[in-house]
Amino acid sequence: MDITIVGAGALGNMLATKLSRNNKVKLIVKSKHTGLIENQEILFRDIEGNIIKSKIKIGTNIENCDLIILCVKSYDAEILIQELSRLDTPILLCQNGLKIMNYALKNIDEKRISYLVTGNGISKIKTGISEHKGLGFTYLGNLSKSKSNLLHSISNNLKEQDMDCSIVENIEEFVWLKTVINSAINPIATLAEVKNGKLGNPELNDEVKKLCEESSNIASSNGITLPLDPWREINKIIEKTADNKCSMLQDLENNQQTEIDAINGELIRIGKKLSINTIYNQQIFSEIEKLSVYS
């Protein structure tokens, strides 16, 4: 396939590395990343510690292709979705939280939109260089719940590259699951300034559980049946990605905008519409916003 991946961060870099083995991949970066554009090469350290160099086409313009994979942060995705709404190309979204999924459904035909949800621990070293820090689930699915040969091809390619990847019928439920997980893990790890493994400590673990229970209640009150037990999945992630820093902590350390609004913020907005309690999400949202230079 002819695949365009937008964003050379942690996930975009990993997908570009793995999918370029069997597909024609173009990686879209910002024009300021002149080194990547000149070298036409990205680096990825796999879970075994092996450094993989991939020579792929790197540019700044999105052109016609078979699939566009959007790997930018949620706060950059809205403008891109507006641009992509004019095309007919299928789009695979990968953003954390619920905000971008809800925004995309309002602006693009759902038949064009699929989603990738992953619990793998991936760290960005710098643009175009990232490393795989912990294994986890990966789920793919169309928001229209239709079957897709294209997604099956992506799934098979990732499986060939030793990723646990499955096609699911109702991907929206898995987007909610990942949001509940992220709403609990990310802000607590960020405020405590710890890697995921430290969240197993009783005091922090209790804070994570409070957020998990509240966010799960928001999901169920909104009519969502979570496909897996989020608390069990959270503890699996804490164990399997123990040496990984969550993306929110990485963002703050790099003086970048966090995705707190797309994750906890969207849960708060949905909770308010449903007139249910969101006290823990509101508290954590405020604390992260105070630390952010973008608030």
pLDDT in tens, 100-124: 999 999 999 999 999 999 999 999 9
Sign of the CA dihedral with 122 first, then 71, 125, and 26 last? positive
Q: Residue 111's pLDDT is what?
A: 94
Q: Residue 46's pLDDT is what?
A: 95
Same domain, 19 and 115: yes
Q: In degrees rounded to 5, what are phi and psi of residue 204?
A: -70, -40
CA distances from 94 to 78, 189, 191 (A): 13, 21, 24
Q: Domain containing 87: what range?
A: 2-169
Domain presence at residue 99: yes
Is the per-residue pLDDT at 294 higher than 80?
Answer: no
Q: Alpha-carbon distance 32 to 126, whole Å?
A: 13
Q: In degrees rounded to 5, what are phi and psi of residue 293?
A: -75, -10
pLDDT band of 21, cuts 50, 70, 90: very high
- How many Cβ atoms sit within 10 Å of the Cβ of residue 270? 18
Q: Mean of the pLDDT values across residues 177-194?
A: 98
Is the per-residue pLDDT at 92 higher than 60?
Answer: yes
Q: Residue 86's pLDDT is what?
A: 87
Look over the chain and give the mean of its residue pLDDT values, rounded to a whole number.
Answer: 95
Q: Residue 295's pLDDT is what?
A: 56
pLDDT band of 275, cuts 50, 70, 90: very high
| Domain count along the chain | 2
Same domain, 221 and 146: no
Tens-place pLDDT, residues 213-262: 999 999 999 999 999 999 999 999 999 999 999 999 999 998 999 999 99
Q: Mean of the pLDDT values across residues 32-45?
A: 95
What are the residues whose beta carbons fall under 8 Å from the beta carbon of 72, sequence distance 6 or more?
6, 7, 9, 12, 80, 95
CB 135 within 8 A of CB 158: no
DSSP assignment letter at 140: E
3-state secondary structure of 116: strand
Q: Alpha-carbon distance 100 to 94, whole Å?
A: 9
Q: Residue 197's pLDDT is what?
A: 97
Same domain, 36 and 75: yes
Tens-place pLDDT, residues 51-64: 999 999 999 999 88
Domain presence at residue 27: yes
Same domain, 195 and 124: no
- How many Cβ atoms sit within 10 Å of the Cβ of residue 108? 19
pTM, two decimals, is 0.94
Q: Mean of the pLDDT values across residues 147-164?
A: 94
Domain presence at residue 295: no
Same domain, 29 and 165: yes
Q: Residue 293's pLDDT is what?
A: 73
Tokens linked to 269: 């907005």
What are the residues whose beta carbons fall under 8 Å from the beta carbon of 217, sequence distance 6 or more?
276, 277
Is the per-residue pLDDT at 285 higher than 80?
Answer: yes
Same domain, 86 and 177: no
Q: Alpha-carbon distance 140 to 154, whole Å?
A: 9
CATH number at residue 112: 3.40.50.720
The domain boundary residue, chosen from 113, 142, 169? 169
Domain presence at residue 14: yes
Same domain, 154 and 178: no
The domain boundary residue, chosen from 151, 169, 187? 169
Task: Specify the DSSP element, H or E, that contains 178.
Answer: helix 171-192
Same domain, 259 and 195: yes
Same domain, 17 and 161: yes
CB 171 within 8 A of CB 141: yes
Torsion of CA 72, 55, 53, 135, to 10 degrees: 40
Q: Alpha-carbon distance 99 to 154, whole Å?
A: 24
Name beta bridge partners: 53. Answer: 43
Same domain, 144 and 69: yes
Q: Residue 122's pLDDT is what?
A: 94
How many percent of the chain have pLDDT more than 70? 99
The domain boundary residue, chosen from 169, 184, 217? 169
